[in-house]
Amino acid sequence: MLKNIVIVGLSLVVTSLLMAEPNVPGGNFKVKLAKMSGKKGEFNLRSENFPKDYFLVSKNLPFLAGLTLHHPQSSTLGLSQEQISKIEMIKKKTVPPIVKKVKDIKILELQLAKNIAIDSNTPKSQYEIVDAISKLRTELTKAHLECINNVRAVLTKEQYKKLLVYARNK
C-alpha cells in the first residue's frame, strides 16, 4: 500500500514537472540580447553571456526576474496575474538601463584592449578607462541587488524558496 502511494506521488510530481511551462514565454529575448551585444572583442575567445558577464558580481547572484517569468517550470511557482504583472514591470524598469550600461562597459573594454594591446599605450594612461569600467560595473551590481530585493518583495516566502531552487539548479 505504501509503495503504491509513493509511486503515485512520484508520478504526480514528474507529470506536473513535465507539464510545467514558463509564466511568460521568453520568445526571442535571447536573440534580441545577442543583437544588442554587438561585435565580439578580438581577444574574447569564449562565448559571451550578454549582459550577465558585465556585472561586478556576475556569477554568484541569481537573476530572479527572468527566472520567475521565463524559467521552463516557473508556472509551478503559482504566481497570481498581479504578481506576474509586478515582476514584468520590475523587469521593464530594470533591463533597458542595464543594457545601456553594459553596452557602455563593452565599448570601454574594447577601447582599453585596443589602447593597451594594439596601440601599446602605457598602463597608467589607461587608468581612467579602468576606473570608468569599475564604476559602471558597480552601478550594475547595485541595480541587480535592488532587482533581487524588488522581486523578493512580490513573492510569498514559499514562492521565494521554490524560486531559489530554480536559481541553484539553473
pLDDT tens figures, 40-97: 676 665 677 788 888 888 888 999 998 899 888 889 999 999 999 999 999 999 989 9
pLDDT band at 24 (very low <50, low <70, confident <90, very high): confident
Query: What are the cell numbers at 52?
Result: 550577465
Query: What are the cell numbers at 2?
Result: 505504501
Q: What pLDDT sits at residue 167?
A: 86
Q: What pLDDT sits at residue 47?
A: 75
Average the pLDDT over each of 3-7, 11-15, 25-29, 52-56 and give the range with the smallest value: 11-15
Q: What pLDDT sits at residue 32?
A: 65
Answer yes or no: is pLDDT of 16 > 90.
no
Question: How far apart are the C-alpha atoms of 11 and 5, rounded to whole Å?
Answer: 10
pTM recorded for the entire structure: 0.77
Burial status of residue 125 (CB atoms within 10 A of its CB: 0-12, 13-18, 19 or more): exposed
Answer yes or no: is pLDDT of 4 > 80.
no
